[in-house]
Amino acid sequence: MHAIYVIDGVQEEYTPAQLLDAVTEPEGRHPHPGPAEGRAVDETLDPVFRDAGLEPGCTDAYLEAVCKARKAVPAAEAESYTRIRVASVLADTLWRTGVFRAGDLRLDATWRWNDAPVGARAAFYASVRAAADYVDALGIKFSSYRHVRTAGLSELVLRPRIARDAEEQDYGFISEPYSTKHPVLGSRRACPSTLLGDAQSWVVYIPFDTADFRLGGSLLAQELGLGGGPAPQIVDADYFLDCYEVVRELVEDGVVLSGATVGEGGLLKAVRGMVEETGMTLDLSDVMRSYQEQNPLRILFAELPGVVIQIRDADFDYLDAELLLQDVAFFPLGHPTPGSSDIRVKASAKSGIQTILESLMQNAEGED
């Protein structure tokens, strides 16, 4: 943590410990008054750009591969991996009991890292820098951090907690709307993680960042040995906070019947975990039209942070109004299908009017 890093021939200005100490509570900092502990020299690895050649008809096989996989840090996309990891761990707290806001949360961070491969030390430094930058942008802090060397897969382990001295927080550090006076983070879930068998209820997808859907750095790209191209660029901390706060209020108000976090593995893996007792038809049409995305597999497996929630049909207009008020985008995915445990994916980037016009034209051609 206290070594001088030289990446691609350029010496970095700060050590990893200095980067993290700037966004860590005093009790968790690692001050080092002496000289730096040696030098870490490495080079960055470039992302692999390769035609994935994914087949929409193989969606079930891709899902099975993703569900069985364990994520390894993509050395060429360590920065994106780290931001997605931070966002996903914070989003997981939405389902916890208690009274808290995003600004009340702290993260215990452990980098379990294999330094041996070429590019691993550069990836570690990129991960630390991304974590420090993103946590700072979110207005939260680390409660502690450490670096553990391993011979296995590298990973960033994060555990959320409430600030050590919550009653005497420095409220000048965080925005007032994103904190509470006496926060409590419970250990139980505030809502189920699986869909309830209400065929009239809505399943809604809320991305927590404005980035595009990209497969780079994803579990799918890892398991299929594909480059996948660039990873999602998670940079909009303010939008994440807006999404977090409005969803947290919906959970506390009992509007959310069930919920799941979209993180490693992507949207389809999150929905798969929700359909233990009921199936559903997953309609991606609104998402594809909004993002002008022609490939549904990018939406299904890109690891863009977000949540999937289930709400009553009677609460749909209320949800619409609340999210519109906060300028938060959401996408209805469909309804549960009681009596089934299957997921059927429906995808079309065409608008309803375009579909109707094409149908009319086909009928007219058939009459000639």
316-319-324 Cα angle (round to 5): 125
Query: Per the domain annotation, does 284 fall within a domain?
Result: yes
pLDDT digits (tens, 9 = 90+) for 319-348: 999 999 999 999 999 999 998 888 999 987
- Residue 93's nearest CA partner among 204, 184, 205, 185 is 185
Residue 25 lies in a domain: yes
Q: Decide if 302 is inside a domain.
A: yes
The C-alpha atoms of residue 107 and residue 154 are separated, in whole angstroms, by 19
- DSSP 3-state assignment of 33? coil
Q: What is the mean pLDDT of the chain?
A: 89
Q: For residue 229, what pLDDT is reported?
A: 72
Bridge partners (DSSP) of residue 345 are: 282
Tokens of 238: 């303010």
- CB contact at 8 A, 281 and 341: no
Give dist(CA 328, CA 34) in Å, integer.
48
| pLDDT at residue 230, as a whole number | 82
Does the residue 120 lie in any domain? Answer: yes
CA 178, 183, 187, 193 torsion: positive or negative?
Answer: negative
Helix or strand or coil: residue 260? strand
Q: What is the pLDDT of residue 171?
A: 45
Mind listing the pLDDT tens digit for each residue in 292-310?
999 999 999 999 999 999 9
Please indicate, yes or no, if residue 60 is contained in any of the structural domains: no
What CATH number is associated with residue 261? 3.90.650.10
Comparing C-alpha atoms, which of 323, 134, 283 is closest to residue 211? Answer: 134
How far apart are alpha carbons 316 and 147 in whole angstroms? 45
Give the CA count within 13 Å in the CB-facing half-sphere of 69: 21
3-state SS class at 350 = coil
Give the structural domain span for 180.
4-51+65-353
User: pLDDT tens-digit profile of 167-180?
Assistant: 454 444 444 555 66
- Phi/psi of residue 194, nearest 5 degrees: -115, 150
Domain annotation covers residue 289: yes
In a domain? residue 298: yes
The tens digit of pLDDT for each residue in 243-288 reads 999 999 999 999 999 999 999 999 999 999 999 889 999 999 999 9
Q: Which of the 8 DSSP states describes residue 104?
A: G
Instruction: Describe the strand order of the beta sheet including 4-7 as a list of residue ranges.
Output: 10-11, 4-7, 39-42
Q: How far apart are CA 226 and CA 214, in angstroms?
A: 13
Quote the pLDDT of residue 277.
82
The pLDDT of residue 36: 63
pTM score, two decimals?
A: 0.89
User: Which range is least confidently modeled, 94-108, 157-171, 207-221, 305-319?
Assistant: 157-171
Return the pLDDT at 56.
79
CA distances from 141 to 123, 132, 162, 170, 233 (A): 22, 9, 10, 11, 21
Residue with tokens 């209400």: 198
Domain count, the chain: 1
Q: What is the per-residue pLDDT for 226?
A: 79
Point out which residues pair with 156 in neighbouring strands: 111
| Cα 282 from Cα 204, distance rounded (Å) | 10
Span 51-95, pLDDT tens digits? 557 887 899 999 999 999 999 898 999 999 999 999 999 999 999
Answer for the pair 82, 130: CB distance below 8 angstroms, yes or no: yes
Helix residue ranges, H only, 174-284: 219-224, 237-252, 267-272
CA-nearest of 69, 63, 66 to 343 is: 63
pLDDT at residue 364, as a whole number:
52
In a domain, 58, yes or no: no
